[in-house]
Chain A
Amino acid sequence: GQSLEQPSEVTAVEGAIVQINCTYQTSGFYGLSWYQQHDGGAPTFLSYNALDGLEETGRFSSFLSRSDSYGYLLLQELQMKDSASYFCAVNGDSWGKLQFGAGTQVVVTP
């Protein structure tokens, strides 16, 4: 079957580093995306990896290993505003269709 697995919750203090892992098993794979969603809000795009390796965008980085069907999102210098749910999602084809994981709630404490 098709599935994406990610931890349900991570708690960390301000200024810390958090890594959210995602393993996937899907029938098609173009790339792995990450989205952020604050409570009651719309998901917003964070990053995308089509090839193996690390992509860096400011305080956030994302990594992909296609051979291991594994990726992670790294949040550095955590801020209170980073408290949100983070979703990994597989782009299964060129039409952009997304299959989402269940999400990881990140709680940042003072």
Chain B
Amino acid sequence: NAGVTQTPKFRVLKTGQSMTLLCAQDMNHEYMYWYRQDPGMGLRLIHYSVGEGTTAKGEVPDGYNVSRLKKQNFLLGLESAAPSQTSVYFCASSSPGQNFYEQYFGPGTRLTVT
């Protein structure tokens, strides 16, 4: 099993450009999450999904959109990138039930907006 994978690993964008980050998991998890991590800070939740076709806002959703068309995939979109969105983006997944609290993270996408 690959676990949680993220594409791409690195990306440089110019201000105003758009892009989509892809997260895929092969653990059949219902819940998926997108976080961002800035230097010296903890992770902050951007958006999350509790099942196929559902999405909800997290702590810092402005400037981002998401979609969960398939259970195994969770996409994060930046419509018009800004330098403030320079960050490392992590996707995570978990399963409801007894171990709902244990999240599995992908390797991250390092995004620079110039």
Q: A: which residues have CB within 8 A of B?
A: 4, 30-31, 33, 41-45, 48, 50, 87, 89, 91, 94-103
Contacts and interface: CB of A to CB of B under 8 A. Distances in A.
Q: Tell me whether chain B's interface is mostly helix, strand or loop, or mixed.
A: loop
Nearest to B6: A42
Interface of B: 31, 33, 40-45, 48, 50, 58-59, 90, 94, 96, 100-108
Given A42-B108, A95-B31, A95-B48, A102 B103 contact: no
A99 to B, nearest CB: 7
B94 A43 contact: no
B42 A89 contact: yes
B30 to A, nearest CB: 10
Given A42-B108, A100-B44, A94 B33 contact: no
B52 to A, nearest CB: 15
Contacts of B96: 94, 96
Contact of B42 (A48, A87, A91, A97): A87
B101 A97 contact: no
A41 B102 CA distance: 17
Given A42-B105, A87-B42, A94-B100, A99 B94 contact: no
A40 to B, nearest CB: 8
Given A42-B108, A43-B90, A100 B101 contact: no
Contact of B59 (A30, A95, A96, A99): A99
A96 B31 contact: yes
Nearest to A48: B101
A81 B21 CA distance: 31
Contact of B48 (A42, A89, A94, A97): A97
Given A100-B42, A101-B42, A45 B103 contact: yes
